[in-house]
Amino acid sequence: MWYDDNVKVENTTFETMSRSGIWYTKNILIKNSALQAPKLFRRASHIKLDNVHFVDAEEIMWTCNDIKITNSQINGDHFGKDSKNIYLDHVSVVGNYVFYGAENIEVHHSTFVSKDAF
């Protein structure tokens, strides 16, 4: 899904081979899904994720804007690098260097197991 606009995905699994799958996309909603591929989001905007599980979030969500993640699990290093306007609620993050260089981050009811976060 490169350069797409107004995307809705529900009850879907993005397998490992779908790496680099969502780049330059605007207005995307993903619910109740498993995201198993690394490098999945780049330079995307207006991203809403609810009840998703990032199995391998290595280098995911880089240089993205306007991100809302709720009721989700994130496992992987370097998540959210250089992204802006991020809202997390009920999110579990396990991985190092998360949100490195990111701006305007709001977090509620969430857990981080990380070194050098933010």
Residue 33 lies in a domain: yes
For the chain, how many structural domains are there in total? 1
Confidence label for 116 from pLDDT (cuts 50, 70 and 90): confident
Give the pLDDT of residue 99: 95
* Two tokens, residue 68: 């809302």
Q: Which domain holds residue 101?
A: 5-113
| Confidence (pTM) | 0.95
DSSP assignment of 64-103, as one string?
A: -EEEEEEEEEEESTTTTTT-EEEEEEEEEEE-SSTTTT-E
Residue 35 lies in a domain: yes
Residue 118 lies in a domain: no
Residue 48 lies in a domain: yes
Residue pLDDT, tens place only, 2-50? 999 999 999 999 998 887 789 999 999 999 999 999 999 999 999 999 9
Closest CA to 72 of 115, 22, 30, 18: 30
Residue 32 lies in a domain: yes
Residue 85 lies in a domain: yes
Give the pLDDT of residue 117: 85
DSSP 17: G
Residue pLDDT, tens place only, 61-112? 999 999 999 999 999 999 999 999 999 999 999 999 999 999 999 999 999 9
Residue 100 lies in a domain: yes
